[in-house]
Amino acid sequence: MKISYDIKSCVTCIYRQMLFGDLDEDEYVLINEARTEKIFRKGEVIVQEDQPIDSFLYLRKGLVKLYKTDEHGKDHLLSINKPGDFVNLLNIFSDKNYHYSVCALEETMVCEVKLDTLKKIIASNSKFALRILNRVACISDDVITNRFEISRKQIKGRVAFILIYLADQIYKNQEFKIPITRRELGELISMTTENTIRTLSEFKKDGIIDMKGRVITILDYDRLHNILKTG
Amino acid sequence: MKISYDIKSCVTCIYRQMLFGDLDEDEYVLINEARTEKIFRKGEVIVQEDQPIDSFLYLRKGLVKLYKTDEHGKDHLLSINKPGDFVNLLNIFSDKNYHYSVCALEETMVCEVKLDTLKKIIASNSKFALRILNRVACISDDVITNRFEISRKQIKGRVAFILIYLADQIYKNQEFKIPITRRELGELISMTTENTIRTLSEFKKDGIIDMKGRVITILDYDRLHNILKTG
DNA sequence: CGCGGCTTTGATGTTCATCAAGTAAAGTGG
DNA sequence: CCACTTTACTTGATGAACATCAAAGCCGCG
């Protein structure tokens, strides 16, 4: 992890508009003073389950996974998050400690704002409070909806789901290079590594996708979408 | 559904303390004017997936199930909720329409507050806003944690989970009468009716529980808890 | 260049859904 | 209140879906 103090980048930061658009000058100064930029390398843990929460994090660059670890040490991914997502918002208002971990899948930059400061501003600015409320609700809604979709499908449908999710939501492209291992892909759809690979191989054999290492290309989107719906 | 206008009951309502404790007199009058009490009989649908959300609901008496219906018409329960739970809080700040349904499992009384009024008060009272924020976060956190626990267990662990959940969280008693069918119990733990029953029968045969129709008694809590942990 | 992690395929066994069939309980209409 | 219908509950048998185990090739890195 590296710490950066490039304050200028704040001015053009898209999150200033998205989340902090309603703040007045004083409040914005407050946030800015309580703010630190941090850079995490691939594989570094940003947030650790059971650790105390002391700041609000927003993802500026990179990609992270949100996950829980069970008593056997096996990870279960809840979601993959990209810039614009508020990585720990899911949990910061519900408890003192994190209920999950966040880890960088590639070089990732986060802005960290002291939680006390954020709460102070929520208390003083009701428009901002409603905006935060909306973000929290949307994030948990997404997690619940995605987990629900995955849990009621079987393996082909799950793999189709995650491929379409990556293509449409994350990369906005039919071809993309996944930054995660096959094992993590399995953890994301609650399947073993082996069966995840088997299904990907089968999709490749059927001409639905192409696969070269971690580069995946969706060749027949319609067929994949059909598997998603029926499977 | 019956509509009641028993305003007096408000004065002693526990939710006045829990959620509305920070309101000043004007705000409280506002809420009260925007409020309706409704009574639903067993089986009546309180909230229907995809319908527009126009009010905030809090459960005063009874028991409800929160669920989603898939394209085959099969229901999947997300949670069971009791008085003190805010039945639709999960969703009211994330979208215009409901993403799930709520149905009464027994005679249930809800108080309904116009959503516009609630938002007005959030905008004017920051302490209240933080309280709502906390409740939203806790509810989604509970749903995510419970679904997570269930999804990574196999059937015996799931049945143990739901029995301990009912005993500890809902009824606070080792003996309780479930208001739901075996099918719904299965839908709650993502299992078929048959396998749910089979597992309950097995627990009975092993002397872990006793079962007479819908009355269930936990005889060996320790053993059940052990199955929960290992299963 | 060899070690460890990632990837892949095959064989085997377990878990669970599905199908079937029967009993018990709860509504329903005469 | 009783015959009738429907819904809930239960057990067994079968097969499908999936996890697990095993083994081998691959790739990056010290």
Question: H or E segment at B135?
Answer: helix B126-151
The total of other beta-carbon atoms located within 10 Å of residue A28's CB is: 14
CA distance A22 to A60: 19
CA distance B104 to B158: 23
pLDDT band of residue A6 (cuts 50, 70, 90) is: low
pTM of the model: 0.92
Give yes or no for B116 touching A (CB within 8 A): no
- pLDDT tens, residue by residue, B22-73: 888 888 888 888 889 999 988 899 999 999 999 999 899 999 999 999 888 8
Answer yes or no: CATH 3.20.20.140 is held by domain A153-230: no
Of all nucleotides, the one whose C1′ comes closest to residue B201's CA is D10
Class of B2-146 in CATH:
mainly beta
pLDDT value of position B9: 63
Q: What are the C-alpha distances in Å from B143 to residues A52, A101, A102, B84, B163?
A: 21, 17, 19, 15, 17
Segment-wise mean pLDDT, segments of 10 residues, chain B, 231 residues: 60 75 84 89 92 93 92 90 87 93 92 92 89 91 94 96 96 94 96 97 96 96 95 80
Q: How far is the CA of A181 from the C1' of C4 (A)?
A: 15
Which of B93, B130, B141 faces A119 most closely, judged by CB atoms?
A: B130
Domain residues of chain B, as ranges?
2-146, 153-230
Which chain A residues are Cβ-neighbours of B143 within 8 angstroms?
Answer: 140, 144
Give yes or no for A51 touching B (CB within 8 A): no
pLDDT at A97 over 90: yes
- pLDDT tens, residue by residue, B62-90: 999 999 998 888 999 999 999 888 888 88
pLDDT value of position B231: 80
Answer yes or no: CATH 2.60.120.10 is held by domain A2-145: yes
Among B140, B139, B142, B148, which residue's Cα sits nearest to residue B189?
B148
CA distance B81 to B207: 29
Of all nucleotides, the one whose C1′ comes closest to residue A212's CA is C7
Tokens of B88: 């639709």
Is B78–A134 a contact, with Cβ atoms under 8 angstroms apart? Answer: no
**Chain D positions under 7 Å from a protein CB?**
8-13, 17-22, 27
